[in-house]
């Protein structure tokens, strides 16, 4: 593969994971409206496909990767909070409970489109108002599905995870490599 991977994502976490793996990539931001309601896997797949399609139209023949990650509890999707009050409500709803983090990946390029999903169960610790105040004051909740970042201060909110940690960060590496094993040989 001579062309670099095109990452159709605004996520600094996805960029960091690709950099840690040594996979060369270029970022091209997709301009799409994301779906926010419905079954988590369906929503994530539709959003990932939409992002990949939007970028692949302008980069024919290149390998485009788009990812969408959603947080779901009891059939409800908790997206990126709009403000600190919504972040508090989201984290309070998730506190002491186990939710699903679902990521969908879509690759478009030579060989046609391919997609896959990954799911990780995450249990947040019971609500502690002081801990929640501390976390929210740091601002890390911004632009985070479910209002937390497991790889940052949000680790203090976590009670347990079952499944792929990189999925919770935003890019499930085992799923990505299953879709495109040659990425590590770029």
Question: 77 has which bridge partners?
Answer: 72
Helix (H, G, I), strand (E, B) or coil at 105: strand
Give the sign of the dihedral formed by CA 74, CA 172, CA 91, CA 8: negative
Alpha-carbon radius of gyration of the chain: 16
CA dihedral 72, 76, 77, 79 (to 10 degrees): -120
Torsional sign, CA 183, 117, 121, 154: positive
Reply yes or no on whether 68 is catalytic: yes
Contact (CB, 8 A) for 165 and 147:
no
The Cα-based distances of 113 to 52, 54, 95 in angstroms read 9, 13, 37
Give the three-state DSSP class for 45: helix
- Identify the active-site residue in 68, 74, 133, 164: 68
- Contact of 54 with 8, CB cutoff 8 Å: yes
Residues that are catalytic: 68
């Amino acid at each position: 593969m001579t062309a670099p991977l095109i990452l159709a994502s605004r996520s600094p976490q996805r960029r960091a994971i690709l950099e840690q793996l040594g996979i060369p990539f270029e970022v091209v931001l997709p301009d799409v409206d994301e779906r926010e309601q419905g079954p988590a896997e369906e929503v994530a797949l539709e959003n990932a496909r939409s992002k990949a399609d939007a970028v692949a139209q302008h980069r024919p023949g290149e390998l485009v990767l788009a990812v969408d990650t959603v947080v779901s509890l009891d059939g409800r999707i908790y997206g990126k909070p709009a403000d600190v009050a919504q972040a508090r409500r989201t984290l309070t709803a998730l506190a002491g409970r186990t939710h699903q983090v679902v990521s969908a990946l879509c690759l478009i390029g030579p060989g046609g489109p391919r997609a896959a999903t990954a799911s990780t169960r995450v249990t947040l610790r019971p609500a502690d108002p002081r801990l929640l105040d501390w976390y929210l004051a740091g601002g890390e909740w911004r632009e985070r599905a479910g209002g937390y970042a497991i790889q940052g201060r949000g680790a203090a909110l976590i009670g347990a995870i079952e499944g792929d940690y990189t999925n919770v960060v935003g890019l499930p590496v085992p799923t990505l490599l299953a879709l495109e094993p040659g990425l590590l040989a770029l």
